[in-house]
Amino acid sequence: MNESEPGLDFSTVIASTVHDMKNSLAMLMQAHSQWLERLPEAQRHTAEQSVMAYEFAHLNGMLVQLLGLYKLQVNQLPLQPGYHELDDFLEAQLACHQEVFEQRGIEARYEVDELCGLGFFDRSLIGSVVSNIINNVLRYARRALLISVREEAGQLLLTINDDGGGYPAQMIEHQADYLQGINQVTGSTGLGLYFAARIAGLHQRNGVYGRIAISNGGPLGGALFSLYLP
């Protein structure tokens, strides 16, 4: 290749590869589900099946996240907000993970304040954020997960709480810098929180932008993820 020829846009190659991987994973998940239905009942709820169900969801979430980050970088991730019934939205999010909840013995539920029947947001993008946080919760929760929605200071506040050990103190202290490098102990890169923060920030009204925050405590005493949408 001479100097006049354009170079390879590696980010575009990666995005294309991730898209193909996501399609392949979807086919693999479908085939696994069909195979699982043919198994005797006693073989459908083993520890190995729990691992596979979780890792399928985890891989799919990471690929969706990577594609989203690429589209954000090249300004190809349009925001398409609309009004959505919160009960319906949260039921759908939990249903996507129901198999793993059951296999891991986690009681997952949601609560929506009666004054917050509708939310105005991009269902697909916020769904990706919620799904990613749930995948993370599945790694650390012991027995319970709670998603709550209420209004706070004129904004819609969605929280995801678990009964695990909570976020590390250093992570909370430096939460403004979500890309903190790979944690050699947990394997965390902070990429999920960075993605969540970017998606939240796309939502804005009257100069107020969406944001996220992490802390520990809440009704279940563990990690508490908070998403604010104007």
pLDDT tens figures, 138-194: 889 999 999 999 999 889 999 999 999 999 888 888 887 765 554 544 445 568 888
pLDDT tens sequence across 12-57 = 777 788 778 888 888 888 888 888 788 887 777 777 777 787 778 7
Segment among 16-20, 109-113, 217-221 with least mean pLDDT: 16-20
Three-state DSSP class for residue 70:
helix
Residue from 152, 147, 184, 149 nearest 168 by CA: 184
Could you tell me the pTM of the whole model? 0.79
Residue 10 has pLDDT above 90, yes or no: no
Instruction: Check pLDDT > 70 for residue 8.
Output: no
DSSP state, 180? -
Q: Give the model's pLDDT for residue 19.
A: 77
**pLDDT for the residue 182:** 45
207: left (phi over 0), alpha (psi -120 to 50) or beta: left
- Model confidence over 122-152: pLDDT tens digits? 998 999 999 989 988 888 999 999 999 999 9
pLDDT digits (tens, 9 = 90+) for 68-90: 778 777 777 788 899 999 999 99
Enter the tokens of residue 94: 């939990």
Per-residue HEC secondary structure of 113-152 comes to: CCCCCEEEECHHHHHHHHHHHHHHHHHHCCCEEEEEEEEE
